Amino acid sequence: MSARGGISKAAVQRWLALWIPGVKVTHWQTLGDGVSSAVYGVEYTSAGRRGRAALRLTRTPLELCWRESLLLNNLQSARLPVSACHGVKQQDNTTCMLMDWLPGKTVSRPMDIPPYAEQAAEVLANIHATPMPQRMRRFETGFSKQVAAVGSRFPQYAAIAEALHRGLPKAQDRVLLHGDFWPGNLLYRRKELTGVLDWSDAASGCPMADLSNARFEIRWLWGEEAMHSFTVHYFAKAPYKALELARWDLVALIKPILGMHRWGLSPNRQRRVSQTIRDVAAEALGNL
């Protein structure tokens, strides 16, 4: 059987065997594939019984993965659509997390946008309403340096840096943030949202930080209509107001401006991301 999603059957079996001796992989597929990690759904047999699991492979340090595993188990107890984590192992500078396999797959461009966008908004509102574990990192860490980097390294985006230098948005509340909420981390099955992947960037901070990041990601991947549907539905479910949303939208642009070259995007996708940055910036700057 050939490799799928950049990993071979033998590699999948070696990882799974760290927890299940004598395991035989029968099928695997990519569930999510981001910049820092990849998640694979695995079907296997062991001692004559069939099982399913998910393996998340990442370069994230072992200690941080352990923290993420504790967070995942807390979130599942809160009935959020996440995978329980059953262990963390490391070898060859790669960390592997053994998790439940959630049904569904990521959707790059839905035919019927509203159900996908509205469910995403509802689950984000539920995340922000979930009690935070203790000792969560804060979203603002190193933020002023990132703003300065935008202005010094990318003169075409100087207006964004100047606007943020004049004043950063203030937090309405401090809640649990997913940290990278976008369609590539959402699983759907028959138009139903079944899972939220990759909690490695989870933090505490203003809910608008998560919302604006998702607004940008949804706009470039699903389109402007989906972004507006997502935003309207979020505010219908969450107890927050769109205060300083334009400034938070500028904050959300820092990540793609500084990191887009590391995302492994095709030239066509890079152009789309760059155009979305310009569109969001023009709209946000006009609303300040």
Whether residue 147 is found in the same domain as residue 213: yes
Interval 125-153: pLDDT, tens = 999 999 988 778 888 767 888 999 998 99
pLDDT the model gives residue 130: 95
What domain count does the chain have? 2
Residue 92 has pLDDT above 50, yes or no: yes
pLDDT band at 200 (very low <50, low <70, confident <90, very high): confident
Asked if residue 164 and residue 48 are part of one domain, the reply reads: no
Domain boundary among 48, 74, 99: 99
| Per-residue model confidence (pLDDT) at position 228 | 96
Provide DSSP, 126-154: HHHTSPPPTTPPBTTTTHHHHHHHHHHH-
Mean pLDDT for the stretch of residues 27-46: 83
- Residue 1 has what pLDDT? 25
* 90 and 171 together in one domain: no
**Within a domain: 194:** yes
Q: What is the mean pLDDT of residues 173-193?
A: 94
Count CB-CB contacts under 10 A for residue 225.
13
DSSP H/E element including 165: helix 158-165
More confidently predicted of 217 and 4:
217
- Reported confidence tier of residue 35, pLDDT bands at 50, 70, 90: low
Phi first, then psi: give them for residue 181, nearest 5 degrees: -85, 110
- Confidence class of residue 34 from pLDDT cuts 50, 70 and 90? low
* Pairing mode, strands 94-99 and 186-189: unpaired
Q: What's the CATH number where 273 sits?
A: 3.90.1200.10
Note whether 270 and 134 are same-domain residues. Answer: yes
Residue 78: give its domain's CATH number. 3.30.200.20
Q: pLDDT per residue over 225-272, tens digit each?
A: 999 999 999 999 999 999 899 999 999 999 999 998 888 889 999 999
The pLDDT value given to residue 2? 32
Q: What pLDDT sits at residue 33?
A: 66
| Cα→Cα distances 110→34, 50, 100, 117, 264, Å | 19, 32, 25, 9, 23
- Residue that wins the pLDDT comparison between 32 and 17: 17
For residue 256, what are the domain limits?
A: 113-287
pTM of the model: 0.90
Residues facing 44 on adjacent strands: 25, 51
Count Cβ atoms within 10 A of the Cβ of residue 135 and give its class: 0-12 exposed, 13-18 middle, 19 or more buried. Answer: exposed
CA distances from 208 to 37, 50, 107, 168 (A): 25, 43, 24, 12
Q: What pLDDT, in 10s, does the model give residues 46-91?
A: 999 999 999 999 988 898 899 999 999 999 999 999 999 999 999 8
Query: Looking at residues 153-170, what average pLDDT do you find?
Result: 93
| DSSP code per residue over 108-119 | SS-SSHHHHHHH
pLDDT for residue 73: 93
Share of the chain above pLDDT 90, in %: 74
